[in-house]
Chain A
């Protein structure tokens, strides 16, 4: 995998919030077809990294490349270029219906046929959304809202899908279901993914490679299967033995 060119590449990314430096020169690569995880504790800077890629927060230093080309800095251009995000806390549009939420996800697309195809894909992956097209998003369960947030991000037909804590606040059984769908999205459609998680074990089991982010710095990277058995990681992020 390493010989190919990365589809998404972050180089020395620095983000400041006033005097606080939330990212201190983080670099990472995502190769085509890969699932990459970033694990880290609360406040490590994971969401900041996602928001900096999406152009929601300003990049003070460093660069982001999509397919070797510098990625635009404005959110709407980033989405148009092929990177979309299922944000932390899901942020579905509560007063809009499931269908309207998905239509919002397809905002950058104009070809109706393409939109219909993407919609079909999302409904195949998440049949529960198909049953609820006219339900208000605010009345969905947490798990369904997460499915909607992922489906909505897929509607933009991204080349790289970013996911910020897809397991947040969900029951283990729903987490398993959602992570199984993520694997399917990756394998079926070959979409590369960058997943940010506090649930390190799940993230490492899902991903091919992973980075460990600690207070704004990448301190470790490697194959997920190896990191899963790394004693340091085990002690700091996996809290004891696997069940």
Chain B
């Protein structure tokens, strides 16, 4: 086994986790609850892409675009109808956490009931042929493409947060939502934007994940767990933390699969979570040990 190849694989899958963990962390930083329905957005994006390609006969660009918008809008709707009524009634975020567990099951079961729970493979629209990296290693075009796409979207997110007025407002709100409201920010609109962005990024991850593996309704909960581990590892609510945590997770998974056995992969994921919680509960970039989960 070639170590460089495994590292590229690990960074590639890690960067896809990063797209998901970053949105999850963004929501956490503004609303201070773990949105367990986050993986659902990824599945929604995956299925939109799948059906746009299979039944709609669209090309991958149009299908992906539809998937990103569709997942973003779904995230906004979930927030609007499941979380907003709660946050307008109580400051206790635990209720939103519980609602998000419910929403995760709802999204999963909508797919099971309407289209069935079977595993589906995306048509081969993303190139998979082997690529030689500077004569050092052989990897697949797919790995490089997913890495590049993730980097582009993460840079895009960073530019949005640093260069735009709403980006500034989101950074302010993730420090103190109430005070951001006092500045004349329409807080409900801000939260809708945050969910749209989170849903959109999750869909990018969802497309690559369902092309790498397969697509099925429960994929969301599995990936939510990984995003959660990555975010805790990096420090909940910290975006750079979520990216670094995801890369570490991706590398750990691929190196375990490559050099030990792929059966140990999930064991390593939870091992990392437990070690982080024992050794450094605030994560690598975390600030305070507040109420988490």
Contact A87 B185 (CB under 8 A): no
Looking at the assembled complex, report how far the CB atom of B288 sits from the nearest CB atom of chain A, in whole angstroms.
Answer: 12
Contact A156 B176 (CB under 8 A): no
A80 in contact (CB, < 8 A): yes
A104 in contact (CB, < 8 A): yes
B179 in contact (CB, < 8 A): yes
Q: How many Cβ-Cβ contacts under 8 Å join chain A to chain B? A: 61
Size of the A side of the interface (Cβ < 8 Å), in residues, is 23
A91 in contact (CB, < 8 A): yes
Bound together, the chains give a CA A54 to CA B183 distance in angstroms of 10
Residues of A close to B182: CB separation below 8 A: 54, 56, 75, 79, 84-85, 87, 91
Q: Which of B172, B175, B187 contacts A76 (CB 8 A)?
A: B187
Within 8 A of B (CB), among A93-128: 93-96, 100, 103-105, 107-108
A152 in contact (CB, < 8 A): yes
Q: What 1/0 mask marks residues of chain B from 173 to 187 whose CB sits below 8 Å from any chain A CB?
A: 001101111111111
Residues of B close to A156: CB separation below 8 A: 183-184
Q: Which of A87, A103, A152 contacts B168 (CB 8 A)?
A: A103
Contact B184 A76 (CB under 8 A): yes
Contact B179 A75 (CB under 8 A): no
Contact A91 B181 (CB under 8 A): no
Interface centre among B172, B182, B185, B186 (most CB of A within 10 A): B182
B171 in contact (CB, < 8 A): yes
Bound together, the chains give a CA A84 to CA B182 distance in angstroms of 7
Looking at the assembled complex, report how far the CB atom of A3 sits from the nearest CB atom of chain B, in whole angstroms.
Answer: 33
**Residue of A at shortest CB range from B181?**
A75
Known: A95-B175, A96-B175, A103-B168. A56 touches B184 (CB 8 A): no
Within 8 A of B (CB), among A155-179: 156
Q: What 1/0 mask marks residues of chain B from 183 to 195 whose CB sits below 8 Å from any chain A CB?
A: 1111100000000
Contact A93 B179 (CB under 8 A): yes
Contact B175 A107 (CB under 8 A): no
Known: A107-B184, A108-B184, A156-B184. A96 touches B178 (CB 8 A): no
Bound together, the chains give a CA A152 to CA B183 distance in angstroms of 8
Residues of B close to A95: CB separation below 8 A: 171, 175
Residues of B close to A74: CB separation below 8 A: 186
Interface centre among B171, B184, B185 (most CB of A within 10 A): B184
Bound together, the chains give a CA A189 to CA B86 distance in angstroms of 42
Residue pairs across A and B with Cβ atoms less than 8 A apart, 26 shown, are A54-B182, A56-B178, A56-B181, A74-B186, A76-B181, A76-B185, A79-B182, A79-B183, A79-B184, A84-B184, A87-B179, A87-B182, A91-B179, A91-B182, A93-B171, A93-B175, A94-B175, A96-B171, A100-B171, A103-B165, A104-B168, A104-B183, A107-B165, A107-B183, A108-B184, A156-B183
13 other A-B residue contacts (CB within 8 Å) besides A91-B179, A96-B168, A104-B168:
A75-B184, A76-B184, A79-B184, A93-B176, A95-B171, A96-B171, A103-B165, A103-B168, A104-B172, A105-B183, A107-B184, A108-B183, A156-B184
A-B pairs, top 3 by smallest CB distance, nearest first, are A79-B184, A108-B184, A76-B186
